[in-house]
Chain A
Amino acid sequence: MHPSRNRRPGELVFNLILVGASLFLLYSAYGISGFEALSSPGAVPMLTTAVMVLAAGRILWEVLRKPVATDQSFIRDILPMPIVVTIAMVALYALALSRLGFIPTSVLFLIVMVRYLSRRGWGFCIGVAVGTVALIYLVFRLIFSVLMPQGIVPEGEILAWFSRLF
């Protein structure tokens, strides 16, 4: 993996966030039932969050002692554009899923992602997207009966219509 001798860009901030979050979780775990009993529902959460605080603190101390890596930048090495775009696309997907429905959202997502990453022709991108979604639909919806959000394409009615034909 990556060499860890030097402090990577953003590492300090990330660890500071972890320490902060661990402290908050410890406080929250204390709030579950305090020091009421050994068997209280808060006992194990308090122990684990305390371990988190100690470990995160120790890691932070190590990070602080490491020299800053000068040959790396946050934008280039940790969060380059393709990664930002991908995260944003998955987030958009999750938001659109219940409104647009599974089929259109997935096709759009795949077209955009494949086009963005591979820069291949539209025909290729659309082909990959439609093919993949068709396969997933076949496996998940038709074989495993997982009902994906329906959205704007009334596939339930279409399916029922088809099955009535036979």
Chain B
Amino acid sequence: MFKSVFGAAIALGLAATPALAEFPEKDIQGIIQWGAGGSTDTVARSVTPHAEEALGGKVILQNVTGGVGAIGLNQVERADADGYTVLFGAENPLLYKVMQLGQKDYSDFVPVNILARGVPILVARPDAPFDTFPEMIEYIKANPKTVKFGSTGPGGLPSVVSAMIQQKTPIEVTFVPYDGDGPALTALQGGAVDVMPAVLGAAIESIKGGKMKPIAIFDTEAAPQLPEVKTIVETNPEFADFLPWGPFFGVFVKKGTPDDVVAKLSEAYKTGAANEDFTKLIDGRGYKMLSLSGDDAQKFLTDWQSKTSWLVWDAGIAKKSPEEFGIPKP
């Protein structure tokens, strides 16, 4: 009561000044689901200054980490649906329900912009005794359980790519878990793991420097950054069922946010994402630009969730069937 009276009084006083007009009237709080220095963080921090220009307001970015991103997501979900709290998230929330990591996912949010998608790549340590995907499978079959795959816990990119491999070409390997693709790729260079499914951007520089060996790109077309690396469908066309697939980054607000506010934010981030500096960064890090908003973004999310949820459920990594949450089969 006190709060509203007091707030109203001051707001009235401020409203009397002509400068105050429309959204955003104050600084926007931007919550980044993942830690500082990670890829979600880098993408969020590099697109936002361009979006701010278009928006005419400030977005204060903070990292709220933990619980595979669920802590940050829940914090935005608890805030008012007024557009002053924005979530910078990755793909993980779409698997929260089937992995039993949280009750909320992007169905409680409205996408402002799905910025970009990553491309998975399978890399090996440079002295691994195989160079291509079929050679790798053959080697693993000859030496069951001795090849060490880096992983980042159930639900992460490596587990999904491994699930794809298990479905098409079942193999016996040992999974060594790390808490992120950065540490796992470091371990790969030190020889602690042999093979690692990672996002192209995280591996690109090390591949160029000869510290890692690319085995296959998990996409339907070759990556312009590494044109000589074969895609998985060139050697094993059966993988086309799952592809293209990849982790993504997006900007979200809570469901129930006024349409004009969502529209304003979407417009701003669309403009921000089109900025040349940002597209160059996305390109250099090996991502694919999407910049989807509105129905396109919603459709992208729905498709991604249905495809991936069923994949991890069939692979036995998920705790609950996607059916329970009404996620349709692809």
Direct A–B touching, Cβ under 8 Å: yes
Binding site for B on A (CB under 8 A): 99, 145-147, 151-154, 156-161, 164-165
Q: Tell me the dominant secondary structure on chain A's binding face.
A: helix
Q: Which residue of B lies closest to A41 (CB)?
A: B177
Q: Would you give the shortest CB distance from A28 to chain B, in whole angstroms? A: 19
Kindly state whether residue B25 has any CB partner on chain A within 8 Å: yes
Do the beta carbons of B17 and A159 come within 8 Å of each other? no
User: Does the CB pair A157–B25 fall under 8 Å?
Assistant: yes
Known contacts A152-B7, A157-B25, A160-B26; A147/B14 CB under 8 A: no
Mask for B8-34, Cβ within 8 A of A = 1, else 0?
A: 001100100101100011110100000
Query: Are B19 and A161 in touch, CB under 8 angstroms?
Result: yes
Question: B60 at the A/B interface (Cβ < 8 Å)?
Answer: yes
Contact indicator B2/A152 (Cβ below 8 Å): yes
Q: What is the count of residue pairs linking A and B with beta-carbon distances less than 8 angstroms?
A: 43
Residues from chain B with a CB closer than 8 A to the CB of A164 are 19-20
**Given the known A-B contacts A152-B3, A164-B19, are A158 and B25 also in contact in the complex, defined by CB atoms under 8 Å?**
no
Interface string of B60-80 (1 = CB under 8 A from A): 101000000000000000000
Q: Which one, B6, B24, B57, B60, contacts A147 given CB within 8 A?
A: B60
- Assess whether A160 is in contact with B27, with CB atoms less than 8 Å apart: yes
**In the bound complex, CA of A153 to CA of B3 (Å):** 8
- A158 and B14 in contact, given A147-B29, A152-B3, A164-B19 (Cβ under 8 angstroms): yes
Bound Cα distance from A152 to B3, whole angstroms: 5
Please tell me which one of the listed residues A99, A153, A161 contacts residue B20 in the complex, with CB atoms under 8 A apart: A161
Chain B residues near A154 (CB, 8 Å)? 7, 10-11, 14
- A and B contact pairs by CB, cutoff 8 A, 19 listed: A147-B27, A147-B60, A147-B62, A152-B3, A154-B11, A154-B14, A156-B84, A157-B11, A157-B14, A157-B20, A157-B25, A159-B27, A160-B24, A160-B25, A160-B26, A160-B27, A160-B57, A164-B19, A164-B20
A151 contacts which chain B residues (CB < 8 A)?
3
Nearest to B3 among chain A residues (CB) is: A152
Interface centre among B7, B11, B17, B24, by most chain A C-beta atoms within 10 angstroms, is B7
Using A145-B60, A152-B3, A154-B11 as known contacts, say yes or no to A161 and B17 having CB atoms under 8 A apart. Answer: yes
Give B4's nearest chain A residue, CB to CB. Answer: A152
B173 CB → nearest A CB, Å: 15
A74–B17 CA distance with the chains assembled, in angstroms: 60
Interface size on B, residues (CB 8 A): 19
Distance between A58 CB and nearest chain B CB, rounded to angstroms: 35
Chain B residues whose C-beta falls within 8 Å of the C-beta of A99 in the assembled complex:
3
Chain A residues whose C-beta falls within 8 Å of the C-beta of B60 in the assembled complex: 145, 147
Whole-angstrom distance between the Cβ of B276 and the nearest chain A Cβ: 27
Q: A157-B20, A157-B26 are in contact. List 9 more A-B contacts (CB 8 A).
A: A147-B29, A153-B10, A154-B10, A156-B26, A160-B24, A160-B25, A160-B57, A161-B19, A164-B20
Among A147, A151, A153, A160, find the residue whose CB has the most chain B CB atoms closer than 10 A: A160
Alpha-carbon distance between A160 and B84 when the two chains are bound, in angstroms: 13
With both beta carbons as reference points, the residue of chain A lying nearest to B18 in the complex is identified as: A164
List of B residues within 8 angstroms of A152 by Cβ: 2-3, 6-7
Given A152-B3, A152-B7, check contact A159 B62 (CB 8 Å). no
Closest 7 CB pairs of A and B: A156-B26, A164-B19, A160-B26, A152-B3, A145-B60, A152-B6, A157-B26
Q: How far, in whole Å, are A157 and B27 apart by their CA atoms in the complex?
A: 8
Assembled-state Cα–Cα distance A146/B63 (Å)? 11
Contacts of B24 in A (CB 8 A): 160
Interchain CA distance A147-B6 in the complex, whole Å? 20
* Chain B residue with Cβ nearest A101: B3
Closest to B26 in A: A156
CB-CB contacts of B107-144 with A at 8 A, as 1s and 0s? 00000000000000000000000000000000000000
- Determine whether the beta carbon of A156 is less than 8 Å from that of B27: yes
Q: Chain A residues near B11 (CB, 8 Å)?
A: 154, 157
B2→A159 contact, CB < 8 A: no
Q: Would B27 and A158 count as touching, CB distance under 8 A? A: no
A85–B19 alpha-carbon span in the complex (Å): 46
Residues of B with C-beta under 8 A to A153: 6, 10
Within the complex, the shortest CB–CB distance from B150 to chain A, in Å, comes to 15
Query: Given A145-B60, A147-B62, A152-B6, A161–B27 Cβ distance below 8 Å?
Result: no
A44 to chain B, nearest CB (A): 14
Q: A157 — which chain B residues lie within 8 A by C-beta?
A: 10-11, 14, 20, 25-26
